Amino acid sequence: MAIDHLDERIIVLLAREPRIGVLEMSRRLGVARGTVQARLDRLQSNGVIRGFGPEVDPAALGYPVTAFATLQIRQGQGADVRAHLATVPEVLELHTTTGTGDMLCRLVARSNADLQRVIDRVVGFDGIVRAATAIVMENPVPLRIIPLVEQAARDRDGRE
Amino acid sequence: MAIDHLDERIIVLLAREPRIGVLEMSRRLGVARGTVQARLDRLQSNGVIRGFGPEVDPAALGYPVTAFATLQIRQGQGADVRAHLATVPEVLELHTTTGTGDMLCRLVARSNADLQRVIDRVVGFDGIVRAATAIVMENPVPLRIIPLVEQAARDRDGRE
DNA sequence: GTTTCACTGGGCAGTTTGCCCAGTGAGACG
DNA sequence: CGTCTCACTGGGCAAACTGCCCAGTGAAAC
């Protein structure tokens, strides 16, 4: 779906000040409250806005170490490996990919030493042939969406 | 910081039903409203809960293709590359890592063909020596935090 | 010309929020 | 053994917001 400039401003405003209410948003954006409400409903039912879940910082929970592991899977064991990794709390996300590895997962751990335990648990499963781990040192660009939203709104403006 | 069982239940409840209010939470959890409010304030000032930003789905915005790129950087060019990548809207996050590559970034694109454009833009910069891209096919475990929160609460219970 | 649709601006009751307070129980400390 | 601190309770208050409704308007589509 395409989003217009008003949608963009709503999302950006929400991203910057999540606690803001619909009424305050309508004031800031200079439109009627009902309009903002209708746009928000639409954005959510379209799936553009999935939700407003709390963003939890693993580091603050005691898991300051992040790593990415590339896994090679034995043919036909994909489903089992997926199920196995889903049971490991330190696996924050898992993707199946093309390229060198078959899967890529994001891990967190309490320390570099603890990372060994996590990796052992991850790879201690029959279907996994090999794992290559890259430890994250810095995170110059934390997960962000605003630039993309702005780009999407520009594209739409340009096309219509 | 350590979180206890009540903190855990607050976070899990918020993750499952983000639109829930403090009053309703206190009812569900069987504690006083002021307690929930105090806990939430503490979780936020501790940085455990970073915020409640809207979760935007790039696919719904017209960017259904996700990829991870491993970059090798020319010595001493790290800062320049970081600044360059920060200007590309399709770069959703960027990490510097140990291991084979020097950096790992998450990209999105409008199509596989469009991914070529994005990658060209990413690597079309002097400091980048080589890039290896893995296209995401499936995402069996989307970014999640609840299992880790539950683990953190269990650890704390165990230790005290 | 007519219909559709998004937006406006307003009103209403019900609920929630932010803030305050006194009382209580448990653990820490002298 | 007292005393203190601290988190939690349960309550009360005014202000604000939400969800819901409505009629009117302008622009674009048919």
Closest CA–CA distance from residue B141 to any residue of chain A (Å): 5
- pTM of the predicted model, to two decimals? 0.92
CA distances from B67 to A52, A57, A138, B41, B136 (A): 24, 23, 20, 37, 5
pLDDT score of B87 more than 80? yes
In this prediction, residue A155 carries a pLDDT of 87
What pLDDT, on a 0 to 100 scale, did the predictor assign at position B84? Answer: 97
Residues B15, A53: Cα–Cα separation, whole Å: 5
Q: How confident is the model at residue B99 (pLDDT cuts 50, 70, 90)?
A: very high
Please say if the pLDDT value at position A42 is more than 90.
Answer: yes
Question: What is the tens place of the pLDDT at every residue in A66-96?
Answer: 999 999 999 999 999 999 999 999 999 999 9
Distance C16 C1' – A23 CA (angstroms)? 14
* CB of B21 within 7 Å of some strand C atom: yes
Answer whether B93 sits within 8 Å of A142, measured CB to CB.
yes
Contact B148 A92 (CB under 8 A): yes
Stretch B58-66: mean pLDDT: 97
CB A81 within 8 A of CB A71: yes
Residue A119 has pLDDT above 50, yes or no: yes
A49-58 pLDDT tens trace: 999 999 999 9
pLDDT at B158 > cutoff 90? no
Q: Closest nucleotide to residue A32 (Cα to C1')?
A: C8
| Structural domains present in chain B | 5-54 (1.10.10.10), 59-135 (3.30.70.920)
SS (H, E, C) A87-152: CCCCEEEEEEECCCCCEEEEEEECCHHHHHHHHHHHHCCCCEEEEEEEEEEEEEECCCCHHHHHHH
Q: How far is A105 from chain B (nearest CA, A)?
A: 9
Enumerate residues 6+ apart whose C-beta is below 8 A from B152. A61, A62, A63, B2, B3, B8
Q: Is the CB of B26 under 7 A from strand C?
A: no
Look at residue B35 and tell me whether its pLDDT is greater than 80.
yes
User: Does the pLDDT at position B42 exceed 70?
Assistant: yes
Supply the mean pLDDT for chain B: 95
pLDDT of residue B157: 66
Those residues whose C-beta lies under 8 Å from the C-beta of residue A157, and which sit 6 or more positions away, are A4, A5
Query: Which strand (E) or helix (H) includes residue A97?
Result: strand A91-97
Is B38 near strand D, with its CB below 7 A from some atom of it? yes
Identity of the amino acid at B98: T
The identity of residue A40, as a single letter, is L
DSSP conformation class of A60? G
